[in-house]
Amino acid sequence: MNITVDTGAQRLDAFLAGALADVSRSRVQKFIAGGRVSVNGRVAARKNLTLEAGDEVCVDDVSVRPVGEAVPAAQDIPLDVLYEDEFFAVINKPAGLVVHPGNGNADGTVVNALLYRFGSQVSSGSDVCRPGIVHRLDKDTSGALVVAKTDAAHTKLAELFSTRTIKKVYTGFCVGARPLEHEFIELPLARSHKNPTLRAVNMAHGTPAVTEYDLKVYRDGISLLQFILHTGRTHQIRVHCSHRGFPIIRDNLYGGSQDKILKIAPMERPFAYSVFKCFNRQALHALSLTFTHPFTGANMEISAPYPQDFIDAQEKMSGV
């Protein structure tokens, strides 16, 4: 379970004792001594480690949950299931649906839908509030999402993601500069100094991040790109595209707002705006997942159909 620190100058054990529900400070200290607590990806060696605002603390124990965060309840939320067997399922997550409960999203998430659809046939997850969740998509990113139905499957799938042996392909519409026909963007990423909830390119202290893309169509300031993720950093595609001068359409956090159209040549603006209007969310879709089934050895390639906003934008790009 991950918790982001809001206020700095806090001692690690005291912070967790206050942040976790029904967990004593002595129990927290046992977690730390046992190597089950990490800060910003590194195992915490000391219980008196001083935390700063924006630090991300991870507790490796499925029985804990944040204060005020209730155990998720089953809710009848429709799921578009692309594939299902006894081990896992792949769903086509719609834009606007949050993956798991968290700050500001107590329910109405993929997790609540999973509990209704699969009941007890869902893995324990990485913590008590995230049953079945192996990886995540941003709220406004649509597309293919794997969910585990058993704890054994959760472990195997998590290994595939951590070792980058699952091929993840995305597609997105960008606004601004014309991309190269093909490129590997290799720019390390770290938390933004201005806003710790965002990511930024940091050549000195960032974690390696590699995004490969192919330019499918370019027209009047709008690009249709297909991406392959060679690493899985938070907001990776969004930050890399923004840094290159062609942010994802409607990605207001990273420069893809409507204001970007004003920087396009006047004769190109009407078309760019017509594509921009197709979207009311960031124009990014998790198109497919390709991997070897961890239990049967079968070759799996599961694709998520385009939502209507992508279909509309593609028609405009092709002149239909």
Q: Do the strands 284-292 and 189-191 form a parallel or antiparallel pair, or are they unpaired?
A: unpaired
Phi, psi of 318 (to 5 degrees): -90, -5
Give pTM, 2 decimals.
0.81
Res 62 pLDDT > 60? no
Res 241 pLDDT > 70? yes
Res 22 pLDDT > 70? no
Find the range with the poorest average confidence among 156-165, 166-175, 236-245, 307-316.
156-165
Verify whether residue 138 is a known catalytic residue.
yes
Q: What is the pLDDT of residues 169-197, one digit of tens each?
A: 999 999 999 999 999 999 999 988 888 78
| Average pLDDT score over residue span 19-45 | 81
Res 274 pLDDT > 90? yes
Give the model's confidence band at 63: pLDDT under 50 very low, under 70 low, under 90 confident, else very high. low
Residue 229 token pair: 């993720």
Asked if residue 288 lies in contact with residue 301, where contact means CB atoms within 8 angstroms, the answer is: yes
pLDDT at 201: 95
Higher pLDDT, 185 or 23: 185
Query: Rounded to an integer, what is the distance from CA 145 to the centroid of its chain?
Result: 10
Please pick, among 127, 138, 140, 309, the residue that the annotation labels catalytic. 138
Q: 27-64: b or e for each residue (b if 16 or more CB lie within 10 Å)?
A: ebbebbeeebbbbbeeebeebebebeebbbbbbebbeb
Q: What is the pLDDT of residues 65-123, one digit of tens each?
A: 665 556 788 899 999 999 999 999 999 999 999 988 776 667 889 999 999 999 888 89
| Average pLDDT score over residue span 5-21 | 80
Res 126 pLDDT > 70? no
